[in-house]
Amino acid sequence: MSRRRAFPYAPLVADRDPSYEPGCLFCRIAADELPSDRVYENEAVIVFRDINPRAPTHLLAIPRRHLASVDDLTDADPDRDTLAALFAALRSVAADAGVRGYRIVTNVGPDAGQSVFHIHFHLLAGRTMLWPPG
Ligand code: 5GP
Ligand code: ZN
């Protein structure tokens, strides 16, 4: 299901989740205010290609809701629903990509390599994966 605006002259704000943070890159991508190469979207989640791919398939799955990282998740139902929706989307795009195996990564905090502070799950595939990650 697409949430794209039915009418091009409708205000952009119609696509913003109530949690929208104006300074957040991925909130702006989710709101369609910045372009992205989307491969999947529904009412809760979008998946798009990473701008700097580190593997032949490198996708980013994000919720439309703004949460900074896994550290912001709670046991409350909205967060459980968000996580379930993210992993359903990841399974779906992996199946569509036809990859045999894939890696899901989420960096939590700058020390772990997080550079965009809107929770996201990397899906990497299409090459041999090293273990442990660097
Ligand atoms: P992190 O470092 O936070 O785990 O991952 C952020 C990811 O977002 C990086 O892999 C980076 O390449 C990607 N990224 C940063 N800016 C953009 C952008 O404007 N568009 C897209 N598609 N990906 C981005
Ligand atoms: Zn955000």
Cα 89 to chain centroid distance, Å, stands at 9
Confidence (pLDDT) at 15? 85
Q: For the purposes of burial, counting CB atoms within 10 Å of the CB of 87, is it exposed (0-12), middle (13-18) or buried (19 or more)?
A: middle
In tens, the pLDDT along 33-81 reads: 999 999 999 999 999 999 999 999 999 999 999 999 999 999 999 999 9
In this prediction, residue 3 carries a pLDDT of 52
Q: What are the tokens at 107?
A: 């960096």
The rounded distance, in Å, linking the Cα atoms of 29 and 52 is 16
Ligand nearest to the CA of 18: 2
Q: Which of 12, 58, 5, 114 is nearest to 47 (CA)?
A: 58
- Confidence tier at 9 by pLDDT (50, 70, 90): low
CB 67 within 8 A of CB 82: yes
Mean residue pLDDT across the chain: 93
**Residue 45 bridge partners (DSSP):** 63
- Examine the residue annotation and report whether 118 is marked as an active-site residue of this protein: no
Contact present, 68 and 60 (Cβ < 8 Å): no
Ligand 1 center to residue 122 CA distance, Å?
9
Rounded to the nearest angstrom, the distance between the alpha carbon of 55 and the centre of ligand 2 is: 24
pLDDT at 61: 98
Model confidence, pTM: 0.92
Average pLDDT over residues 2-30: 79
